[in-house]
Amino acid sequence: MSIATDKPRGLILAASSSNAGKTTLSLGLQRLLVRRGLAIAPAKCGPDYIDPAFHAVASGRASINLDPWAMTTEDLTTRATTQALTADLLFVEGVMGLFDGTVNGQGSTATLAQALGLPVILVLDVKGQAQTAAAIAKGISSYDPNVTIGGVLLNRVGSAAHEHLLREAFASLDLPIVGAVRGSDQLQLPSRHLGLVQAAEHDALDGMIDRIADHMAPDVDLDGILGIASEVTPNQDGAAPLQRLAPLGQRIAIARDEAFSFIYPHLLNDWRDQGAELSFFSPLADEAPAEEADAIYLPGGYPELHLERLASAHAFRDAMQTAAAKSVLMFGECGGYMTLGRSLISADGVEVPMLGLLPVTTSFANTKLSLGYRKLSHRSALPWGGELAAHEFHYATIQSMDEAEPLFAARTAADRELPSMGQRVGSVHGSFAHIIAPLKTTY
């Protein structure tokens, strides 16, 4: 079956909870649909950097983030429509459980489904249960009448007998089963403290995705899945202008390698669309940012896994210190912020010098999870007026910090005040927050 329409269609793959196997199934389904000859436009709900890189390998097309907490409904619709224009199917992977979000469920996969008007295929991990899975599906499907559950994809099915019990239990529900995938320990994707190991670190990721697809192929109903997809509908009020962050500069040098990979694709696209020239360099390869750059961006990532290489990257260090002396605007997020600091302490307690451009020492020797959406305001040279929508997710802690001008005043998604975040010294700015978009006017 193919999608018999000139207009792109879309669906959302969601789950009853985290760790239900949603990402693995998402990759396998995208690959199976590509094998069918369909052009798949992938997207990820929420502030995730790692899954979109996996999507790109599985589908052969760049993935985007659709964040219903940080982005307006108009922005979500415009970005989703643009992503889907040259494809047959917009395939969105959800985040956590379907209704899980921040305050009152804001930012959940369900809120994205409502904003885009797309149906949901619900992934259920049925290991250790049978008829109860049908009860869970019934409860989820009736929880919010504004969210359409088009079908159910059962994961980690144990045997043919187990599948028979499940199908028998679902027979009384108006919820078609579009797959009953057998469990396999061989299909687990490796992970670390911030989630899955990055796509770029897998030597044979393409082959792994092929194995996932091969494993799933006998157990999924691709025709049924395609039949659930609905038309991706543009904004009813026309093409509303996107709420975009201004470029950091006219010529932006961006660190990009295995240590600095947490970059939202929509930010780079928006900066290009606004006329900025982007160049990329690898600190791990001891590369310097372009000399003509008037702004330097150090995104987040995993610098803690590459401390010795960063400490010995003398050309990178010298170029960054020279740029700071020339007052080139610099901005570091999370891993980039730690790299701008004085030093970084590894998990085994070894302190390694960093760039020394901000008076902060961070540590993985005593970890503490900091996680959640943030509302930020600032008075700095950063070219972003008004408040900012951001996300914080890290285990590193601040070991010591000398006095410097705070960068951001911060609040949680529930508007609870937080201590100030980050530092500013001259033209150098950094914090643990990942900036997503201008803050919406209403939540």
In this predicted model, what pLDDT tens digit does every residue of 357-367 receive, in sequence order?
A: 999 999 999 89
Helix, strand or coil for residue 201? helix
- The Cα–Cα gap between 272 and 269 comes to 5
Among residues 40, 24, 43, 11, which one has the least CA distance to residue 151?
Answer: 11
Which pLDDT value is given to residue 239? 61
Unique residue bearing structure tokens 């979000």: 101
Q: Which of 334, 345, 413, 435 is catalytic?
A: 334
Structural contact between residues 296 and 323, judged by C-beta atoms closer than 8 angstroms: yes
- What CATH class does 251-438 carry? alpha beta
Residue 428, strand partner residues: 330, 425
Q: Please confirm, yes or no, whether 334 is among the known catalytic residues.
A: yes
pLDDT digits (tens, 9 = 90+) for 287-318: 999 999 999 999 999 999 999 999 999 999 99
| Residue-averaged pLDDT of the chain | 93
Segment 144-154 shows an average pLDDT of: 97
Which residues, 6+ apart, have CB-to-CB distance to 21 below 8 Å?
15, 123, 125, 155, 156, 181
Mean pLDDT lowest for which of 71-85, 179-193, 384-398?
Answer: 179-193
Which pLDDT value is given to residue 192? 41
Which pLDDT value is given to residue 3? 52
Q: What is the DSSP letter of 13?
A: E
Unique residue bearing structure tokens 């006219």: 250
Segment 51-62 shows an average pLDDT of: 94
> Does 9-231 match 251-438 in CATH topology?
yes
- Identify the band that residue 241 occupies on the pLDDT scale cut at 50, 70 and 90: confident
Q: Domain ranges in the chain?
A: 9-231, 251-438
> Is the pLDDT assigned to residue 441 strictly greater than 70?
yes
pLDDT digits (tens, 9 = 90+) for 193-224: 444 455 455 467 899 999 999 999 999 999 99
Specify the pTM. Answer: 0.93
In the CATH scheme, what is the homologous superfamily, with its name and number, of domain 9-231?
Answer: P-loop containing nucleotide triphosphate hydrolases (3.40.50.300)
Unique residue bearing structure tokens 């990402």: 23
